[in-house]
Amino acid sequence: MEIFKNTNFDFLGKKWPFIIASLVLTAAGIGSLIVKGGPRYGIDFKGGTVTTVRFQNSVSEDQIRVALSAKIPGEIVVQRDTTTNDVLISTELRDEKALDAARQLVVDTLSSNFGGGVAGKIDLSNVGSAKIADELRGPVAASMNEQQVQDLSKAITTFRDTQKRGLLGNIDSLSGVNGVSPQVLSVLKEKAYVAPYQVRGFDLVGPKVGAELRSQALNATLLALAGMLVYIAFRFEFIYGLAAVIAVFHDTIITIGLFSIFDKEISLTVIAALLTLVGFSMNDTIVVFDRIRENLPMMRKEKFDTVVNASINQTLSRTLLTSGLTFITAVSLWLFGGAVLNGFSFALVVGIIVGTYSSIFIASPILIWWRDWMEARRSNTPPTAGAAPVAAAKAKSVK
């Protein structure tokens, strides 16, 4: 099966609508960044806490926000995944000193507002197996030894966290667990309650560390880009390296811009996704450039832009197939990958689209403009003998 065979589209002739679309997207992204005062950093980069909570019933974002802001200073952001009732609660943390108590504050506030618990009883949704064992030990001492008590407690939390995916619903649902006798059940009913939510994860980053991580991520990315530029400049020509890096930069700016427009957070995993798309886009660009380098000596009579266009066409089927396949992987990650990977896969989905067309409509035109500009400059000065295209000469030496 073949889809594209000997295509000859005039890509470079149709570049302007795409370049304009790029400029519009870039401008919109930058505009959004300016209006919102920079990207919306996740706690990794600004400090704060994020609590991942799964609720039994749908609780509105506002309800949570109002309940928490009564106790916790600063802005509180509540995001909800509508399909699972999973909620991400972000709080601010400006003072390094508030760090130690931050988790307890969030947990206690949630418990007093949504727990529905009774003082003195343990919350079966959120305690670990050691606490359950503490409650069971005395009452069941006649029938079970210490090891059995611990194993049973462990079985209860495992059942809750795997089979029930975090939410027990009520104590009776435990009767399915191996070893939970009616006696155990009645002990638990007396000593425990089941809160209609579970705290599934907690992240806390101090503001100082956040700022450090931010500058570290930025430096690493910029240096990585510079490294690629040097390598490509060394393997091809400087302008090739520059064009590839500009194209990749363009992809990154548009993706970050879209993150800002859709009000999504930039976290450490999103940085990993940005690096991934930088890799993909760079890969795409190099494939086209490689073909240009290969074609130049063979098509010496043709104009440079014809060579570029032919190269794009020759690599078109590979470009679309590769991008299509990686796009499918990214979409599958976006659809099935869960809340944790959402930002990551969103960046990939956007990045692959932008990255694919940037090698055709951004990187390649830059090469041609540079060539035209060089030639225009050369024709103003007295012609030197044997002004063969530099790239062609270089390409030969590489071979």
Partner 1 sequence: MNSTLRNKAIFVLVIILICVYGIIGIPKSGAELTKNWNENIRLGLDLKGGSQLVLQVQVQDAFKAEADQTIERLKVELQKDGVPYGVLDRNDPQRLEDADTIEIIAKGIAVDKVGAFREVVNSRFAAWNLNSISGSDFKLTYKPTEAGVLRKDTVERSMRTIENRINGLGLAEATVQQRGGTKNESEILVQMPGVDDPARIKSILQAAAMLEITEVRGGPFSDRAQALAQNGGVLPLGTRLAQERVKQGSQGESWWLLGRNAVVTGRDLRNARPSQDEFGKWETSFTLSQDASKRFGRFTESNINNKLAVVLDNKIFSVATIQSKIEDSGRITGIGDQTSASDLALTLTSGSLPAGIVYLEERTVGPSLGADSIHDGLLAGVVGVGVVILVMLVYYKRAGVNATLALILNAVILLAALAYFGAVLTLPGIAGFILTIGMAVDSNVLIFERIREELRNGKGVIASVEAGFGKAFLTIIDTHVTTVVSCAFLFAFGSTAVKGFAVTLVVGLIANIFTAVFVSKFIFDWELSGDKQLTTLSI
Among positions 158-177, residues that touch partner 1 (CB under 8 A) are: 158, 160-162, 165-166
When asked if residue 192 is in the footprint of partner 1 (CB under 8 A), the reply is: no
Q: Which of 15, 121, 137, 200 binds partner 1 (CB under 8 A)?
A: 200
Among positions 72-131, residues that touch partner 1 (CB under 8 A) are: 96, 99-100, 103-104, 128
Sign of the CA dihedral running 266, 245, 233, 11: positive
When asked if residue 250 is in the footprint of partner 1 (CB under 8 A), the reply is: no
| Nearer of residues 26 and 283 to partner 1, judged by Cβ | 283
When asked if residue 137 is in the footprint of partner 1 (CB under 8 A), the reply is: no
Among positions 1-20, residues that touch partner 1 (CB under 8 A) are: 1-2, 5-6
When asked if residue 278 is in the footprint of partner 1 (CB under 8 A), the reply is: yes
When asked if residue 191 is in the footprint of partner 1 (CB under 8 A), the reply is: no
When asked if residue 216 is in the footprint of partner 1 (CB under 8 A), the reply is: yes
Measured CA to CA, the distance from residue 133 to residue 147 in angstroms comes to: 10
When asked if residue 337 is in the footprint of partner 1 (CB under 8 A), the reply is: yes
| Nearer of residues 212 and 372 to partner 1, judged by Cβ | 212
| Nearer of residues 19 and 340 to partner 1, judged by Cβ | 340
| Nearer of residues 76 and 205 to partner 1, judged by Cβ | 205
Q: Which of 294, 306, 353, 374 binds partner 1 (CB under 8 A)?
A: 294
When asked if residue 255 is in the footprint of partner 1 (CB under 8 A), the reply is: no
Min dist CB 95 to partner 1, Å, is 12
| Nearer of residues 193 and 231 to partner 1, judged by Cβ | 231
Residue 104 burial (C-beta neighbours within 10 Å; 0-12, 13-18, 19+): exposed
Q: Which of 255, 276, 281, 356 binds partner 1 (CB under 8 A)?
A: 276
Min dist CB 239 to partner 1, Å, is 16
When asked if residue 151 is in the footprint of partner 1 (CB under 8 A), the reply is: no
